[in-house]
Amino acid sequence: MSDYTDLISEQLYIDGWTDGTSERTATTVNPFNDESIATIRQASKEDVDKAYDVAQQRQPAWAALPPKDRAAVMNKAADFIEENFDAVVALIQTESASTAIKASIEAGLAIGSLRESAQFPTLITGTILPSNTPGKTNYVFREPLGVVGVISPWNFPFALSMRSVAPALACGNAVVLKPASDTPLVGGLLLGKIFEAAGLPQGVLGVVVGAGSEIGDHFVENEVPSLISFTGSTPVGQNVGVKAVGGKRMKKVALELGGNAPLVILDDADMEQAVGAATLGKFLHQGQICMAVNRIIVQAPVYDEFVEKLTERVRTLTYGNQLDPTTVVGPLINDQQVQSVTAKIEKAREEGARELLSGPIEGRVVAPHLFADVTPDMELFREEIFGPVVGIIKADDEEHALELANDTQFGLASAVYTRDLARGMAFARRIEAGMTHVNDITVNDEAHVMFGGEKNSGLGRFNGQWAIDAFTTEHWVGVAPGQAHFPF
């Protein structure tokens, strides 16, 4: 395993590296064996205020730089990750309980976000519009928001922090980032290291590590940020939205929240492809992905065949230490997640789901669990699982499959398998979700394509032009010749 020592900091990143001033300290650990990685003095409310104040002071000069200079920082940050790729992957693996393949995917996504964002400074355009006032011209300028607050999750901490931080910076904003408490290094302080090395002016990015109970609400309610970008669970995101809009200064919000992704297998699907998609889409990163397959809906004529083949495939998956290169399913992030997933397994048994496959629960490692004959009234159908557990539901026909797919409060990712692409497209467009894939897994993210959900899966869109829209605002400047005759 590559040495990631140089990528670790035990200080906050506020106008340079500095110790936190909270009375609390926190030690981040390898979730598999609780081995210590770093101990960090936490941020206080005063540290949050300082980070925002410094960001507000430094933002105008950063926004005033020529587009090529902001683009250069984005590209240099991407270069840094590429040059230190193995060490970055190793740190992601260790702190966030990621297998090698997941950590490599995540590092690649972060690079993609940076390369895409490097184009944004020259893609920000305005509009000139005519006026009904003689001699007047209407200009609509697209300007940075100012300061953006970012709260990132623990499941894809590096990629999902970068997905907000990189475009916000590229658009001329300053950013203050609060990573999840389980992943303060790869979700936060590592970005400080990267952007410092890339030449980002000091203070334009701040990273505050702290307990949500101490600084969470204050981070959102501070009057400096114009937008709060939050990625995480729906209940917490709803609270963030209320506090962001209901405070002394109303803020914009970008919320990427929970999911209950359906994978629909129609009766003409390629069975090997469908089984492969179900396996990868469910068990990548132990199912701890908002886009992970959460329900598998199979049309009746192929139900038994699919159940048999999926059981055979999942039975071969290895589980254990995420640092073992042969491991497919590693540990869950913390004890709370283990308790939640274990409770869902027990509930599925109580409610009468047919258990196809189970295995041991040792420490934080939960072996893959499969259940068949799941019905819409069961918890396994209705709730996001966020673990290596999945239920299979039989659909009477195509319309019933669609009804089942849409029977949820969430609408993030979804997928459908069929050999008939026209049929697949028609079916996909009727799924109530922000993202649907035909003959592909639910877990998809491309830096130039919009990302976001419907219903209780969030507000707003990330990536590409949608990120420019999210991290800028429009300003109408009307210019008249000064020759008007006013009636009074």
Report which residue type is found at 340: S
CA distance 85 to 91: 10
Question: Token match 């240099």: residue?
Answer: 76
CA distance 319 to 322: 8
Q: What is the DSSP string of 410-478?
A: EESEEEEE-S-HHHHHHHHHTS-SSEEEESS-S----TTS-B--EETTEES-BSHHHHHHHTEEEEEEE
| Closest to 442 measured CA to CA, from 390, 365, 370, 366 | 390
HEC per residue, 228-249: EEEECCHHHHHHHHHHHHHCCC
- Residue 32 is given by DSSP the state T
Question: Residue 216 has which token pair?
Answer: 């969470």
CA distance 413 to 424: 15
CA angle 308, 414, 89 (to 5 degrees): 90
8 contacts: CB under 8 Å, gap ≥ 6 = 37, 38, 91, 185, 189
213 contacts: CB under 8 Å, gap ≥ 6 = none
Report which residue type is found at 355: E
How many other C-beta atoms are found inside a 10 Å radius of the C-beta of residue 143? 15
How many other C-beta atoms are found inside a 10 Å radius of the C-beta of residue 224? 20
CA distance 385 to 259: 9
Question: Residue 279 has which token pair?
Answer: 């396996």
279 contacts: CB under 8 Å, gap ≥ 6 = 310, 313, 314, 317
Question: Token match 């969430």: residue?
Answer: 410
Beta bridge partners of 57: none
CA distance 165 to 152: 10
How many other C-beta atoms are found inside a 10 Å radius of the C-beta of residue 63? 17
CA distance 470 to 342: 38
Given the residues 10, 95, 256, 384, the one annotated as active site: 256
- Note if 221 is an active site residue: no
Maximal CA-CA distance, the chain: 84
Report which residue type is found at 431: I
Question: Residue 174 has which token pair?
Answer: 């300053």
Dihedral of alpha carbons 52, 54, 57, 62, sign: negative
Q: Which residues are catalytic?
A: 256
